[in-house]
Structure 1
């Protein structure tokens, strides 16, 4: 007999009985503490259920509540009884009713038998670890906590504030340095008996009774006074989330638990029949393996990241109301073209043919959503209704990219459209935004409307585009942005189009050998001059000449030839 088990039980007593019998069958005595909150009738039934096991005893009961002294008192009472009644025990293993042995008990006995003077307990100062949750690090050792954090949260918080305000700090007893760690330890008889029989135990107990969460600091601190060889780790696999709450293991964690090579795991769901059936009846496949919970740390780290950050472009209730906590505005890259459809008459079909992507029209047109092919609905039952889109314009874009992930989306945008997503696109790293500033004037030039109306609309569109360009050029912009003035673009349109396509990174992209049909710009320079003459200065187009021949009519450069 080398290992004794102290088990703290408060719920799922049937499962606890099953595990107790497993320990006992392997020759390990078990001392059980049952929470005093458990009804007396239920307690008596539980005692009778294991009455046939001679090496199973019950200790004095204490009322246990998370974060309070009762859990330490329960561990003390059960450990004292273990040391008194079972003198052959060399190591005492603290476990809970929700703990489940993952390997045959013989493995644990042999492992501890080779390390007769080693104490396994996490023990580190608050300055050395990031475990503490709730904003209390060393203060948990210098303030008083007479109120339950769970039942009397208001009183708990107010009393902490009161002590901080009036600097009512406690003095740490001489000779000890507060340490913290996992509640679940495995201590040698020598160390554990030294802690329980210490002449100053009354002083230490009085001090730790007002420490917050003393079950994670009492033994972890006092073990430093007596242990000759401490391994600062627990033999029990226990994982916690970012809020400090324990992960619960279910049936689908079977292979994950096997990979850990650990002797015991908590916290097991009481209805995980598959886990209990496999681990309590399994032969020894891991004989001699060193416990290595690090094997599964990566998986838990990913789970915590998924829980706290989520997937890019996919929102959940806890993150949606908090700007900046969405882990990415959209889920995949997309392209936005501003002014291209105004300058080129067949730009959309040309772009789709050249890149093989999904090319939409003006998704944020005030008249309605222009999906590809002018569909009334699109992927995910998205409607082309402008009112539905503008109810939450950002979510419209988010949903469009999420519903079509795996297929790049391209759409047109301009100052005549709803501008609700202007800043969102500018700050989105997934966005590729290509702008021909001032191209919005081409439809006005071709509109043949009253010039007074054109002048007023041109002034408004220029104001809107100017504000949009400020967003694109701001230090907060994260999108891939390229801006040309209309005058600069039409100087070398083929080169500019090739640059845009290269930045899209389209598969099987070939060199641009054909350009979309450009709008007829004869007289456009004079049109801009007329706007100037009417008092509206169209500066976003760049230095556009008053008399300019259309680009399509410019003579091509002569091909070189060889003279013999």
Structure 2
């Protein structure tokens, strides 16, 4: 009898009883602390069920709240009873009711017998602890925390802020260096008795009562005063997610737990019948005599945390929505946005489809409907062309479209008449290729048969919208590949920018374009812009158009030289 076990039990008492019997079957005495929050009738029934176990004791009960002193008090009471009742115990192992031995108890006792003077307790200074969550590292030892973080979060935060403003700072007891680590330890009788019988224990207890999460610092700090040999690690496998919450092990973690070679694991799901059956059945297990090595499975947990926090690029769901600090790519695949091309060129969609091999949509964010390629009403992922559904979550509409059409590049038209809710999304998305012919929105107005007063008013509105859009695209925070041409600049030599855009899409083998899409007739467009100026509206986004721009002596638009290879 060299190993004694302390069990802190809160819920699922039937599993705690099962594990307790497993410990005593191997000759290990067990002292059980049952949370005072458990009702008296349930406690009496649990105690009666173990009345036949001579190696089981029940200690004084304390109310245990997360982050509060009760967990330390429970450990103290259980440890005092263990040391007083079982003199042969050399090592004391602290566990919870949800802990499960992964290897035969005989292997653990043999391991500890080979290290009779070694204390196994994770113990590191605050400067060396990378896992604290919540911003309270050194402050947990210098401020007072009388309020429960879980039950009284508002008061907890207000009281912390008040102490910071007042410059309040507690003094650490002389000679004590605060350390932190896992709550689950295995201490020698000498070290544990020295902590519990220290003449200054009342001073230490008074100090740690108002420390935040004292169960992760009380024994971890005091063990440094008395231990002659500390292994700063826990013999219990416990993994935590990015929010500091413990991972729960289920039946499908069976092989993972076996691979760790750890002696004990927490936190086990109480209905993981397969785990309890596999690890508590001594007859089917062979001794391995391996050093506990949780690093074997660290890669899997790191991958799980990565998937949980940053997910897959462009995939959003209820369990993992976009977070600007964790995002792993805002969209799932590259896509292209064209502004002004459909206005300047006739049948641009058809030409681009043939030239690039991509799926080319119309104006996906047009006011009336989403103009899917081929006039489709429903597209991959059951996305509807309904403007009402799209406008409820424009970003979700776009990311769903790109996710559901992975493997094929999506191209679509955009303009100042469209819904502008995704402008910053476009700009910050490295997958976005945005090509803009500024001022091309004026062409439909030029060709429209509307009163000029209405045209002037609409032109002023569209110019302002496009100006704001261009400001976003030129932002220093923009990560998209953005190319901007004025309309006058573009029509002077359209082949070069079109070739650049097609090469960048890269869907097909790069080749020189043999033809360009047919440009719309711009006869009279220069005079149209001058008329806008005469009416008090200054159209500056188109570039420098003279009154006769786009006209020849016969009244036809000039032909542009196209290079054919």
Same fold by TM-score, threshold 0.5 exceeded?
yes
Aligned to 1:501: 502
Note the C-alpha offset of 1:365.
Answer: 1.9
* Match of residue 148 from structure 2: 148
Please list, as runs of the form range in 1=range in 2, the aligned pairs for 1:415-426 lying within 5 A after superposition: 415-426=416-427
Determine the C-alpha separation between the residues in 2 that align with 1:321 and 1:188: 48
The SS at the match of 1:481 is strand
2:409 is matched with which residue?
408
The residue aligned with 1:28 is 28
Distance 1:327 1:380 in 2: 21
Deviation larger for 218-227 or 99-108: 99-108
Post-superposition shift, 1:203?
A: 2.5
| Contact 2:437/2:486 (8 A) holds in 1 | yes
Q: Which residue of 2 aligns with 1:333?
A: 334
User: Do the aligned partners of 2:236 and 2:263 also contact (CA within 8 Å) in 1?
Assistant: yes
Instruction: Please give the alpha-carbon distance, in whole angstroms, between the structure 2 residues aligned to 1:64 and 1:73.
Output: 9
Distance 2:154 2:439 in 1: 60
Separation in 1, partners of 2:390, 2:137: 48
Q: TM-score, normalised by structure 2?
A: 0.89
Alpha-carbon deviations, 1:74-101, whole Å to 9, x = none? 2222223323333333221111111011
Matched, 1:13 2:13: yes
Aligned residue in 1 for 2:256: 256
Greater alpha carbon shift after TM alignment, 406-415 vs 158-167: 158-167
CA RMSD, aligned part only? Answer: 3.1
2: distance between equivalents of 1:203 and 1:340?
78
Query: 542, 553, 556: which is aligned to 2:559?
Result: 553
Distance 2:231 2:117 in 1: 11
Q: Provide the rounded CA distance (Å) in 2 between the counterparts of 1:337 and 1:303.
A: 38
Aligned-residue offset at 1:157: 4.4
Is residue 490–residue 551 contact of structure 1 (8 Å, CA) maintained in 2?
Answer: no
Name the residue aligned to 1:170.
Answer: 170
Note the alpha carbon deviations across 1:232-261, whole angstroms, 9 max, x for none. 111111122333322222222223222322
Change (3 A) 1:109 1:313: same
Q: Which residue of 1 aligns with 2:2?
A: 2
CA distance in 2, matches of 1:437, 1:211: 62
User: Aligned ranges for residues 129-140 of structure 1 at < 5 Å?
Assistant: 129-140=129-140
Matched positions, count: 559
Structure 2 match to 1:512: 513
2:388 is aligned with 1:354: no
Shift of 1:163: 4.5
Q: Which residue pairs with 1:127 in the alignment?
A: 127
- Structure 2 equivalent of residue 82 of structure 1: 82
Residue 562 of structure 1: aligned partner: none
Aligned mates of 2:440, 2:29 — CA distance in 1 = 85
User: Structure 1 residues 253 and 557 mapped into 2: Cα distance closer, same or farther (>3 Å)?
Assistant: closer
8 A Cα contact 1:261 1:286, kept in partner: no
User: Equivalent residue for 2:58?
Assistant: 58
Question: What is the 5 A alignment of 1:259-298?
Answer: 259-281=259-281, 283-284=284-285, 287-298=288-299
Structure 2: how far apart are the matches of 1:412 and 1:334? 11
Deviations for 1:274-301, whole angstroms, at most 9, x for unmatched residues? 1111222264467133222233333333
Structure 1 residue 168, shift from structure 2 partner = 5.0
Greater shift in the superposed pair: 312-321 or 274-283: 312-321
2:308, 2:320 within 8 Å by CA — same for their partners in 1?
A: no
**CA distance in 1: counterparts of 2:158 and 2:458, whole angstroms:** 60
Question: Secondary structure of 1:295's partner?
Answer: helix
Q: SS where residue 222 of structure 1 aligns?
A: helix
* Structure 1 residues 380-529: aligned runs within 5 Å: 380-447=381-448, 453-525=454-526, 527-528=528-529
Moved more, 234-243 or 145-154: 145-154
The secondary structure found in structure 1 opposite 2:125 is coil
Contact 2:316 2:322 in 1 (8 A): no
Matched with 1:39 is: 39
Give me the whole-angstrom Cα distance separating, in 2, the residues matched to 1:68 and 1:416: 59
The alignment partner of 2:103 has SS state of coil
| Change over 3 Å in CA distance of 1:51–1:377 after alignment to 2 | same
Cα 1:463–1:40 change in 2 (3 A) is closer
How far, CA to CA, are the matches of 1:460 and 1:165 in structure 2? Answer: 50
Does the C-alpha gap of structure 1 residues 162 and 86 become closer, same or farther in structure 2, counting only changes over 3 Å? same
SS of aligned partner of 2:195: helix
CA displacement at 1:308 relative to structure 2: 4.2
| CA distance in structure 1 between the partners assigned to 2:268 and 2:387 by the alignment | 51
Question: How many Å separate the matches in 2 of 1:522 and 1:484?
Answer: 20
Cα shift at 1:360: 0.5
- Alpha-carbon distance change, 452 to 254 in structure 1, aligned in 2, over 3 angstroms: same
Residues 485 and 166 of structure 1, relative CA distance in 2, 3 Å threshold: closer
The Cα offsets for residues 269-327 of structure 1, whole Å up to 9 and x where unpaired, read as 11111111122226446713322223333333343344444554444569869877766
> Judging changes above 3 Å, is the alpha-carbon distance between structure 1 residues 442 and 257 closer, same or farther for their aligned structure 2 residues?
same
Change (3 A) 1:447 1:161: closer
Instruction: State how far apart, in whole Å, the 2-side matches of 1:182 and 1:113 are.
Output: 23
**Change over 3 Å in CA distance of 1:490–1:83 after alignment to 2:** same
Which runs of 5 or more structure 1 residues have no equivalent in the other structure? 560-564
C-alpha distance 2-353 of structure 1, shift in aligned 2 (>3 A): farther
- Paired residues of 1:319 and 1:326 also in contact (CA < 8 A): no
Does the 8 Å CA contact 1:259/1:295 hold for their aligned counterparts?
A: yes
Q: Give the drift of 1:40.
A: 3.3
Provide closer, same or farther for how the CA distance between residues 153 and 341 of structure 1 changes in structure 2, counting only shifts above 3 A.
Answer: closer
Contact 1:3 1:90 in 2 (8 A): yes
Q: Does 1:235 align with 2:235?
A: yes
Say whether the 8 Å CA contact 2:514–2:562 is kept in structure 1.
no
Length-normalised TM-score, structure 1: 0.89
* 8 Å contact kept, 1:426–1:478: yes
Following the alignment from structure 2 to structure 1, what is the Cα–Cα distance between the partners of residues 171 and 244? 27
Partners of 1:238 and 1:165 in 2: how far apart?
A: 37
Task: Name 2:305's counterpart in structure 1.
Answer: 304
The worse-fitting range, judged by mean Cα deviation, of 407-416 and 483-492 is 483-492
Moved more, 347-356 or 54-63: 54-63
Q: What SS class does the counterpart of residue 127 from structure 1 fall into?
A: helix
- Displacement, 1:471? 1.7
